[in-house]
Chains A and B, each alone.
Chain A
């Protein structure tokens, strides 16, 4: 005799079978289809009916349909307009700006682009964060003023008062630039001196520690034990400092010579001297960079 649970299972199987059978039977109803003749004839009638009333529209390709549905024309245009206008305007501003700056490079006072040159010089100066870079830029601008004076003097069109006025203005600007460079050089010098002093103090502290080691101070751990075996590098910054100071003094001297030459109206000579000062500063900064690298190398050991 089957247990109730078995009977239930058998019933479920029976129901499932019935359901499956029912679905199959229902699915067989798919064979119910319209008459082929009706389908064919009505197809033609329908085509004629829809052709009669509607405007003729050509069948489109699937790609075009997808494109149209994804990007309906009006929305696309609306979206594209501000983007295009903004991008075109920014490109135009960029091109005009860069072109203007390049074109103004050889301009002299009185030219329409001279103001652009001055503005770009100010911008360059504002973008430089290092004092040395600023000094170099100042020298460049001073050389540029000297060059402009030669250009103004070389121009046969302008004679007399107008020319003198321009030359005077340029001379004033030149002196202004040179004095600014001098100021910067003194700031650099002061900063270098301060650095050297700090380094020397560090060495002294280290020395004091070594000195006290005789008086049973070895219990206290040395502040920087790894520096213990490297007394030699302590002398190195001093030597570098002296060369930096020398270089800066040299640049001062050459700058004064340049000023003298400018007063003597030897503008080409002035430009050469300024170039010399620039080279000195460059050499100095290169040394500084090498020194910096070697310092980091030793500290990581």
Chain B
């Protein structure tokens, strides 16, 4: 579900006025991308769901406390809260060594009408990426998901990460390069094998 800029501003304004219906609408709009963002960062379906619910509740509390003045977009606020919660989550689970994705259970292929070959291709691609993404540096993975999966603009990413647009562009370039290198090395190993 996509939303226009003006529509988003209206939604934010309504939420600032403690409009519950508007907040639920925002939940419907952003739950998918937020879940995706969290899922690729924590690597577990259950944890992603828990964190997702925590993000929305915390955002609502922010609004109630009237601390929403500085934020221009609701999307940026949601992502920022999500990032903070993920950091807290990492701190609590220090013992865990690596981030592992759930594999097949974590991915749900939505379009069931797709042909079997295409579905297979998609599954393979997803599997490759899902296994390679956790190998990337945290900030690279984050920026790749935001830009190429959730399709956020450079400006939005800059706002979420508290960085300048130029910094974000450089980060994206480096992240892509790193991902490509990972995939290429993987291909080489496969070919040698």
Select A26's contact among B32, B52, B148, beta carbons within 8 Å.
B148
Of B19-27, B69-77, B92-100, B153-161, the one touching chain A: B19-27
**Contact partner, B108, options A33, A42, A54, A66, Cβ 8 Å:** A33
A38 within 8 A of B: yes
Chain B residues, CB < 8 A from A50: 20, 23, 57, 60
Interface of B is mostly: helix
Q: Which residue of B lies closest to A34 (CB)?
A: B35
Contact segment of A4-12, A16-24, A112-120, A206-214:
A16-24
User: Chain A interface: which of B79-87, B121-129, B163-171?
Assistant: B121-129
| Chain A CB within 8 A of B39 CB | yes
**Residues in chain A near residue B130, CB distance under 8 A:** 29
Chain B residues lying within 8 Å of A30, measured Cβ to Cβ, are: 36, 149-150
A19, A33, A59: the one within 8 Å of B35 (CB): A33
CA distance A119 to B45 in the complex (A): 90
User: Residue on B with the closest CB to A66?
Assistant: B10
Interface residues of B in 127-151 (CB under 8 A from A): 128-130, 144-145, 148-151
- Answer whether A34 and B49 are a contact pair too, CB < 8 Å, given A65-B10, A69-B13: yes
Q: Using Cβ atoms and an 8 Å threshold, which residues of chain A touch B36?
A: 29-30, 32-33
In the complex, B120 has a CB within 8 A of chain A: no
> Any chain A CB within 8 A of the CB of B28?
yes
On whether the beta carbons of A31 and B122 are closer than 8 Å, the reply is yes
Across the interface, B125 reaches (CB within 8 A) one of A19, A28, A42, namely A28
| Complex contact A27–B20 (CB within 8 A) | no
Q: Determine how close the nearest CB of chain B comes to the CB of A48; give it in whole angstroms.
A: 10
A86 at the interface (CB under 8 A from B): no
Q: Contact residue range for chain B?
A: 35 or more
B136 to chain A, nearest CB (A): 12
CA of A56 to CA of B176 in the docked complex: distance in angstroms? Answer: 47
Main secondary structure of the interface of A (DSSP, over half): helix
Could you tell me if B20 and A22 are in contact, using CB atoms closer than 8 angstroms? no
Shortest Cβ distance from A23 into B: residue = B148
Tell me whether A34 and B52 are in contact in the complex, defined as CB-CB below 8 angstroms, given that A27-B149, A47-B24, A65-B10 are known contacts. yes
Is A22 a contact partner of B176 (Cβ separation < 8 A)?
yes
Question: How far apart are A216's CB and chain B's nearest CB, in angstroms?
Answer: 90
Pair B20/A47 contact, Cβ less than 8 Å: yes
* Residues in B neighbouring A49, C-beta threshold 8 A: 57, 60
Q: Mark B37-75, 1 if CB is under 8 A from A, else 0.
A: 001100001001100110011001000100000000000
- B32: chain A residues at CB < 8 Å are 33-34
Report the separation of the CA atoms of residues A29 and B146 in the bound assembly, to the nearest whole angstrom.
Answer: 11
Q: How far is the CA of A50 from the CA of B27 in the complex (A)?
A: 12
Q: A22 contacts B149, CB within 8 Å?
A: no
**Nearest B residue to A69, CB-CB:** B13
Which residues of chain A are within 8 angstroms of B176 by Cβ–Cβ distance?
19, 22
Q: Which A residues touch B17, using CB under 8 A?
A: 57, 60
- Residue A62 at the chain B interface, CB threshold 8 Å: yes
Task: Say whether, besides A32-B36, A65-B13, A66-B10, A55 and B149 are in contact (CB < 8 Å).
Answer: no
Which residues on A sit within 8 Å (CB–CB) of B183?
Answer: 22
Provide the bound-state CA to CA distance between A34 and B38, in Å: 11
Query: Which residues from B are CB-within-8-Å of A265?
Result: none
- Provide the bound-state CA to CA distance between A26 and B14, in Å: 34
Chain A residues with Cβ below 8 Å from B10 are 62, 65-66, 69
Take A31-B109, A33-B110, A42-B53 as given contacts and tell me if A26 and B19 are in contact as well, using a CB distance cutoff of 8 Å: no
17 inter-chain pairs at a CB distance below 8 angstroms, sorted by A residue, are A26-B129, A29-B129, A29-B130, A31-B109, A31-B126, A33-B108, A34-B31, A34-B35, A34-B49, A42-B49, A47-B24, A50-B57, A51-B20, A54-B18, A57-B17, A60-B14, A60-B19
Q: Interface on B for A, CB 8 Å cutoff?
A: 9-10, 13-14, 17-24, 27-28, 31-32, 35-36, 39-40, 45, 48-49, 52-53, 56-57, 60, 64, 106-111, 122, 125-126, 128-130, 144-145, 148-151, 176, 179-180, 183
Chain A positions near chain B (C-beta within 8 angstroms) = 18-19, 22-23, 25-35, 38-39, 42-43, 45-47, 49-51, 53-55, 57, 59-60, 62, 65-66, 68-69
Given contacts A32-B106, A62-B10, 18 further A-B contacts (CB under 8 A): A19-B176, A23-B148, A25-B125, A27-B149, A28-B122, A29-B126, A29-B130, A31-B109, A31-B126, A32-B36, A33-B35, A33-B110, A42-B52, A45-B53, A50-B23, A59-B20, A60-B17, A68-B13
